Structure 1
Amino acid sequence: MRFKIVMTFVNPEITEKVINTAKKAGATGDVVIPARGSGSSQATFLGVSIVDKTDILLFVVEEHIVNNLLDAISSECKLREPGNGIAVVLNVERVAGLEKQIENIKGKLRDENL
């Protein structure tokens, strides 16, 4: 079984929407990391950089759902609009601790004849 990490950096106002959209697209869990960052047009106030709050969301998913998940998040959460966020996909070399999820995925794949 091959896994990917779908990592999103999103405006905290849409975090719940991204999570719900990802789960509808097949993600079984998530990790939310509060963060801060600056975009390409960094603002300043009295010479001090203003850093925007952002949430980093991680979804470890089986590779066959990555495209649908990414398309759903991009579309439903309007990632193409400035300020909403970005999403990237990373390869996973090895995984441990997902035995229960792997069994569930195998059962679902058998049911779907994949």
Structure 2
Amino acid sequence: MKYKLIKSMAHNWTHSFMSGMNYVDGDYVFEDMYQLARGRRGEKITVSWIPERTDELFVLTPRIRESLKHYRKSLPTHMRQHNVDVGAISEMRTEVYVAEDHRIYVRSYVLDNRGKEHVQFVRS
């Protein structure tokens, strides 16, 4: 496996999760994520993919939690399609927050098993 593939895999994953294709129960998941971020100005709304953190679920809406069920099931397939070994990832998460400039930012974060961080901002 090539570690340089991690960044594009994680970017695509976060972009998909925050896209208009992620539509659950009559609305878009990204709208719920943005609303939560606006309500917690400066505080990150985090979805941890690896490892899964159930304590995060309590602040998320039912729509987001429903989407997570489906996304978490398909993560290993997504990683295989990008030629990324699941064992190479120590931590992977999506973060959404409102910065001091009042803009909403979406960030993809991955920590690989070598201790290297792969961080990037994602436009959705």
Query: Structure 2 length as normaliser, TM-score?
Result: 0.27
Higher relative CO (CA 8 A, sep ≥ 6), structure 1 or 2? 1
Larger radius of gyration: 1
Greater strand content: 1
> With structure 1 as the length reference, what TM-score do the two structures score?
0.29
Greater helix fraction, Structure 1 or Structure 2? 2
